[in-house]
Amino acid sequence: MRKALHWLVVLAFGGLLVVWAVTAATPEITGAAAPANAPDTAFTWFTAVMPDGASTVVGVVRAPEGTGRDHPAILLVTGTEGFNTDYLQFARELAAKGFDVAVGCWFRTEGPTGAGTMGIACPQAPAFKGVSDAAVTDLDALVTGARRALGDPISLSLVGFSRGGGIAMLRASGGASGPVVSISGMLEGTTAWGNVADEVNVVDRASGVRAPVLLLHGEDDDLVPVTQAEHMADALRAAGVDVQTHWYSTGGHGLAQVPAIRADLVQRIADWLPTTVSPAASRRATG
């Protein structure tokens, strides 16, 4: 009788281990077809799990082999306009500089998705929450999905645009360690067009940032004034954070829409990011 009970216990425990193993192995991402209006064959696409039953799409473009330098990987964080084909082009240009790059949606967008349009729909993603504490959870999930899609690089940098720059900086203020690039970032909880509920002034939380930061902004930005980036730079320096800055005299809020400035943005990011990590922590050092 004791032997029978012993084996019952062993079998039950073994069953629990199997259930745990299956659960633990459940992928956070799965392969996916390219979304509508994203015909670029350079990208591999995935579906990533997001909070509260939501999901999102993540596209990955790889650096050419034999680029000769060790680089961190990059996640592009979109602005208020949502995911569109401009981000695919920006990702390709960074990949040409030797980076593996992921891009996806941290909030829901419905379209447009027809031929010839720019928008890429993310209908299953979480609702838009702006630069708020609640949105950090959504961005965390996108980061997790991007890391899996990129093959779990040791170093992952966030390059955010407008509100994407703001939410990337807000996440960093909670102690996230990955380098952050903020391009025209909304950093003080408001824009010339107003704000949404629960958005926060990230400058007030600069003392919590531990990651290196690169701030890029237009001096003639009439949507998010350059003073927001200046205030953030001052607050980060006061907190002892490694921060680099560059202000463009022209370009307004859409710096990446100006070809010459876009090329400069890509080059500055490509020059700066390798300085933020040691070769041992780079993407290629793990391969």
- pLDDT tens digits for range 218-274: 999 999 999 999 999 999 999 999 999 999 999 999 999 999 999 999 999 999 999
Structure confidence at residue 37 (pLDDT)? 78
Domain CATH code at residue 102:
3.40.50.1820
Edge-to-edge strands, sheet with 213-218 = 29-32, 44-49, 55-61, 101-104, 73-77, 156-161, 180-183, 213-218, 243-248
The answer to whether position 33 is within a domain reads yes
Structure confidence at residue 39 (pLDDT)? 73
The answer to whether position 5 is within a domain reads no
Separation between Cα atoms, residue 12 and residue 7, nearest integer Å: 8
Confidence tier at 49 by pLDDT (50, 70, 90): very high
Q: Is the pLDDT of residue 22 over 50?
A: no
Structure confidence at residue 116 (pLDDT)? 59
Q: Is the pLDDT of residue 68 over 80?
A: no
Structure confidence at residue 40 (pLDDT)? 74
Domain count, the chain: 1
**Chain mean pLDDT for the chain:** 86
The answer to whether position 136 is within a domain reads yes
Cα–Cα separations (whole angstroms), residue 183 to 32, 120, 142: 29, 21, 19
The answer to whether position 101 is within a domain reads yes
The answer to whether position 1 is within a domain reads no
The answer to whether position 242 is within a domain reads yes
Q: Is the pLDDT of residue 13 over 50?
A: no
Structure confidence at residue 14 (pLDDT)? 47
Q: Domain containing 212: what range?
A: 28-286
Structure confidence at residue 118 (pLDDT)? 85
The answer to whether position 17 is within a domain reads no
Higher pLDDT, 76 or 14: 76
Bridge-partner residues for 207, per DSSP? none
Terminal Cα distance for the chain, rounded? 53
Pair of tokens at residue 204: 């007030």
The answer to whether position 23 is within a domain reads no
Report DSSP state, residue 247: E
